[in-house]
Copies of this chain bind each other. A is one copy, B any other.
């Protein structure tokens, strides 16, 4: 049917595109398919009877507050608890500077809303979180990518990008980064580089948007401090956090920690967007944090996800054909794999789902058309034996593609700018 309003949409609506990740979910959800696609936490590891009792008590004891409208900034006691959570990564913060949001996705949207005019530039890692790309696009912003290696974004490349953009009259508004267990690349910005990145941004006058949903899910190696923890001035970073991976994604509770003036604008923007985040889900998270042994739950998650990561890395070593490389995440949910030149992860996907394994092709994580040979492999959701089976199937599919390419006369190798380099020192080869 013709859309009678098609001439009436806002210009920004052109930038709203269906996420390839989301579009995959229908296929990936088929029970016979091993999904290495989604980034869903394994909430089955939660103590559901305990959570049930927390919810029940909340209604009985604070029902008239939990079921009523709340403030746009969020419930005060939760903001206090959030400060305790951030302290685990070295951040000193006041509850007044926290804005509770509907998942950290809403925090990302609100930051974009208050900072981005059409045509503005945001600098991001290459690759970067797919929905961040979509959100910046929805505000008609342009994205400039900066390459990473196994130690995260390269500070010199970041400084060069800022200088180049400044010379072009495109001084960037924000540097958006997922510094720890990055989505999708799985790499972590090293401690040494964190100070460099802070300094590069400070000198260029670029606000850092630090997105840290996975920081507490470290499986080995030394903890690193949040960028926000070491910002020389607290107002150089807007920090985004979330309970989606450390408690329950379905409650949609995230937050922004922002300099006071930015916080004020975020609160106004939040009020205009949703009036207030649900007091019920905020109080549920707060009650859970205050009454239950949450650090023990984090340990449960860590051990479970570590086992899954190990299963994936072992299976990759066992089953990937020569020429395939991948990152070795010390935490989080994702491994980033690179196929030999000439293969196309997106074109290969129907063959993979036919072989009952799904992944996310890399192109969606770039704004510039890169990522053709890349794929994101998630180890968060399927149990270890399914991960091993899925990687085995994927190895077969890739081997088949390589064989096909080698027998094809039409093969033309191509360069894939922006993808993590194969000489990455944290990348295993086989």
Residues of A near any B CB (own CB < 8 A): 1, 3-6, 8-13, 16-19, 22, 40-41, 43-44, 46, 48-49, 51-53, 55-60, 63-70, 72, 102-103, 105-106, 109, 113-117, 120, 131, 134-135, 138-139, 173, 205, 207, 233, 235, 244, 248-252, 259-262, 265, 268-269, 271-281
CB < 8 Å: which of B63, B235, B249, B274 contacts A68? B249
Q: How far is the CA of A120 from the CA of B9 in the complex (A)?
A: 11
Q: What is the CB-to-nearest-CB distance from A148 to chain B, in angstroms, rounded to a whole number?
A: 24
* A131 and B68 in contact, given A8-B207, A113-B12 (Cβ under 8 angstroms): no
CA distance A293 to B400 in the complex (A): 59
Distance of A272 Cα from B111 Cα, bound (Å): 13
B3 A259 Cβ-Cβ under 8 A:
yes
Distance between Cα atoms of A114 and B8 in the complex (Å): 9
Contact A250 B70 (CB under 8 A): yes
Min Cβ gap A64→B in Å is 5
Task: Chain B residues near A281: list those with CB within 8 A.
Answer: 278, 280-281
CB pair B67–A10 under 8 Å, yes or no, is no
Given the known A-B contacts A56-B53, A115-B9, are A252 and B278 also in contact in the complex, defined by CB atoms under 8 Å?
yes
6 A-B residue pairs with Cβ-Cβ distance under 8 Å, sorted by A, are A12-B114, A13-B114, A52-B58, A105-B273, A252-B275, A278-B278
Q: A8-B173, A272-B131, A272-B138 are in contact. Are A249 and B69 (CB under 8 A)?
A: yes
Known: A51-B63, A248-B280, A250-B279; 8 extra A-B contacts, CB below 8 A, are A3-B262, A9-B115, A40-B69, A55-B58, A131-B275, A250-B280, A273-B273, A281-B281
B10 touches A114 (CB 8 A): yes
The smallest C-beta distance from A107 to any residue of chain B, in angstroms, reads 10
